[in-house]
Chains A and B, each alone.
Chain A
Amino acid sequence: MLEAKIPEGRLEEKWRNYKAKCRLINPSNRRKYKVIVVGTGLAGSSVAASLCELGFQVEVFTFHDSARRAHSVAAQGGVNAAKDYVNDGDSVWRMFYDTIKGGDFRAREANVYRLAECSASLIDQAVAQGVPFAREYSGYLSNRSFGGVQVSRTFYARGQTGQQLLLGAYQALMRQSTRKSMQLHTRHEVLDLIVHEGKARGVVVRNLDTGELSSHFGQAVVLATGGYGKIYYLSTLAMNCNASAIWRAHKRGAYMAAPSWTQFHPTSLPQLGSYQSKLTLMSESLRNDGRIWVPKTPGDQRAPGDIPDAERDYYLERRYPSFGNLAPRDISSRAAKERIDAGCGVGPMRNAVYLDFRDAIQRLGLDAIRQRYGNLFDMYRKITGSDAYKEPMMIAPAAHFSMGGLWVDYELMSNVEGLFVLGEANFSDHGANRLGANSLLQACVDGYFIAPHTVMHYLAGERIDGPQEEQLQEVGERLLQQCSADLKEMLDRKGNKTPEEFHKELGAVLYGKCGLSRNRKDLLEAKEELRKLKDEFDLNLLVSGASKNINFELEKAGRVRDYLEMAPLIIQDALQREESCGAHFREEHQSEEGEAQRNDEEFQYVSVWEYKGSNEFELHREHLDFEFVKVSERSYK
């Protein structure tokens, strides 16, 4: 049933073979096909621009007021590519292996290899688009290191790499937007996926400025709607990031894979008060030169400068000497939690650790540090009001990236035919833990290099003038009426608790019981608490305003409802997986030293869930075959 459609051949031949054999459509016929693209982050903008350049009709939707505001814009540190410009032994194979290992052997070999294989071309293309990556004085491109690897393969544009890559994609999109074949709808949110005769054929959307609903049809639908880490309420994600499009697609039959695998980023700023709406990320690149520590003695209240080296615990360097401060994110976050739980946390809420640049400033000088991280230090000052050149930063783990998402095959198509899922919205390449600077890469590679081929291959097998077209209009109209009734029902509920309040409670349950570490008892409790919260939501929701104009409360209510429906699946997924792997740490499955223990014998598969009606999900398994690498214990010691 779950056919990943991995091409035959040796690992390095698979993608080449696929491209050589996939179906094509004659340039003059392409204009007869229309593809719906949802989302204008890196994956959405890049695929929409690419398909339009190929000659397809493309209709693009974003809930933002401009395509450029999608949350890819906030990624800071960089994008990985196996260019081996620094002559440190990097290669496609090594990048592939680092990513597979970083994901704790819970991703598909063929997908990950393709990601590494396409990485170099992405840098070429970004440079062609004018992305101003950092350069050496010689004029050559500059690289730095990220967590979980021992080479320097990260390209960057100051601390604004996501912004610059997104602007490249956005500009490519805007270039096409003046053509008749592209329709770009800003401030439109998807409410439902139109599936007809087993195939994804369109979407129902709401114009967020006028409240008007409309149905749009095509021969394929691409969802590039990002991750759902905001389900934890406090996260590094933007305020409006949501799971709604993928969740509603899930309810229309698309399978959800590994939903409990959410990455907690180790270098976020800690929560400082209950009013806080989000947590701000500081780029992982800071760990190149910053050293992470806490006082050795629990409860040590001295100012960081007053604590001598002998009384500091550089716990990452101590526990993982070969990777040190550049240990992967899951491991670094868990190690921070371990020290914070042991009472060694710092800051007003004792929920943080220090990231200290004292030694790097002594070694390299203030100017070098300012040049490398100046804008990050400025940002830190703007948010916290303190100067990280003089005292260490305070950082803490925060919900960040969704490794889980809609299940897709090698072609990035879900089990619903014609529904493609790109970027963070799919589950595919990162296994149980994503390496830093691989998310911008995946979003771009999916959109620029993979989907243009696989979508065309799919469309080539589709008819564009079948007798089903009239019925399709009726299906769209029926779903539109349902969506409309649904919105009205939420507005009419008139309880006394706002979506925001529900979201905060939901986040607290998930952080506490299904966050950085999980155990059966907590998960079972969480399940019960979430059931009660959803029941209360159904009775007591308060949404102000009307449906006929800008109404952020109504938008939020829909998103929170989807989160409340999705949360039980996250719990179920975490409960079902009786092992620790990557970001999924089950306390029952750890070594004496507190390291994660995988169970390859029983769990070398991805858990893939089918929606069976409210709170019922059926498990399917996609077994992961490792033909080319040896599955081993993931050690960074």
Chain B
Amino acid sequence: MRLILNVWRQESPEHKGAFERYEANDLDPHMSVPEMLDHLNQGLIKKGVEPIAFESDCREGICGQCGIVINGEVQSPESHCTTCQTHLRSFRDGEELYLEPFRAGAFPVKKDLIVDRSAFDRIVAAGGYIGANTGQGNEANSILITHDRAEQAMDAAACIACGACVATCKNASASLFTAAKMHHLNSLPQGEPEAQQRALKMVEQMDAEGFGACSFTGACEVVCPQSISIQHIVEMNRYWRKAL
């Protein structure tokens, strides 16, 4: 299989970036996108060209590192997939692809396809936890949580912090990420005591990081690799209003 690849190259946050064109031959349709980049990089290194910097670790869709934009789409052609679960069989032989990093003011480009998503960590640090010290905890079955409620919490907790929701949003809003964590914790009895404070602090941090506002286009849930619903944003707004 053969693909023409236009890849965003940018030496550092301070440098200006541009697309570079590469031809990749002898590809296998079952390769994942990172495997294709590995393959391309091996060739570049041998030619004395600096390899394309991209992040990818688990390669099974759970670590949340690998996200990039392909042909202007954050959405994987395989739908609700991370970049590492996107295979070349989704593209046509000979197709021309444009690969670029996630674009958002709060996600500065570090190099080539790598962005800085540490803003997410700071949102969690602001209140995305239950303040139970380690080594303690009541007998687990003393807190009963209905099956449906546990499932709903898990739906929200499944977020992998890849940033696809931010990258696809026209406002670069981090609402889906923030709401998923907030709703996961606030909807459980263990998280209830801190629910209001959590809502205020997480939203405050989200705004401080420079993410935009949510205008409910629903674009985020379409691209989310974990299929997290915008319903959680409704819940977040409710928590926040209540806490004001």
Contact = CB atoms under 8 A, between A and B. Distances in A.
B133 interface: yes
A139 B130 CA distance: 20
Contacts of A163: 62, 158, 160
B95 interface: no
Interface string A140-171: 11000000000000000110100110010011
A277 B59 contact: yes
Interface in B47-77: 48-51, 53, 55-65
A420 B221 CA distance: 43
Contact of A50 (B50, B63, B134): B134
Contact of A140 (B81, B126, B135, B141): B141
Contacts, number: 212
Interface in A263-292: 272-273, 275-278, 280-281
Range of interface residues on B (Cβ < 8 Å)? 35 or more
B62 A160 contact: yes
Contacts of B234: none
Contact of B58 (A238, A383, A545): A238
A65 B65 CA distance: 8
B187 to A, nearest CB: 9
A281 B134 contact: no
A209 interface: yes
A128 B125 contact: no
A67 B137 contact: no
A293 interface: no
Interface SS of chain B: loop
A238 B59 contact: yes
A167 B158 CA distance: 10
A85 B121 CA distance: 36
Nearest to A138: B144
Contacts of A273: 28, 30-31
A130 B184 contact: yes
A460 interface: no
Interface stretch (B108-116, B167-175, B209-217): B108-116
A622 B35 CA distance: 43
Interface stretch (B97-105, B145-153, B236-244): B145-153
A66 B146 contact: no
Most buried by A among B34, B44, B57, B78: B57
Contacts of A434: none
B140 A123 contact: yes
A626 interface: no
Contact of B45 (A157, A276, A498): A498
B117 A128 contact: no
A172 B134 contact: yes
Given A50-B134, A71-B58, A171-B130, A139 B81 contact: no
B231 interface: no
B53 to A, nearest CB: 5
Interface stretch (A246-254, A546-554, A574-582): A546-554
A626 B134 CA distance: 33
A119 to B, nearest CB: 11
Interface string B161-191: 1000000000000000000000011001011
B21 interface: no
- Top 3 nearest A-B pairs by Cβ distance? A139-B144, A128-B137, A171-B129
20 contacts: A71-B57, A71-B63, A127-B143, A129-B132, A133-B140, A134-B150, A135-B150, A137-B147, A158-B154, A163-B62, A163-B158, A186-B118, A238-B63, A239-B59, A275-B28, A275-B35, A276-B35, A277-B34, A542-B46, A550-B114
Given A65-B118, A163-B62, 9 more contacts: A65-B116, A65-B117, A68-B121, A83-B141, A128-B190, A137-B147, A177-B121, A240-B57, A498-B42
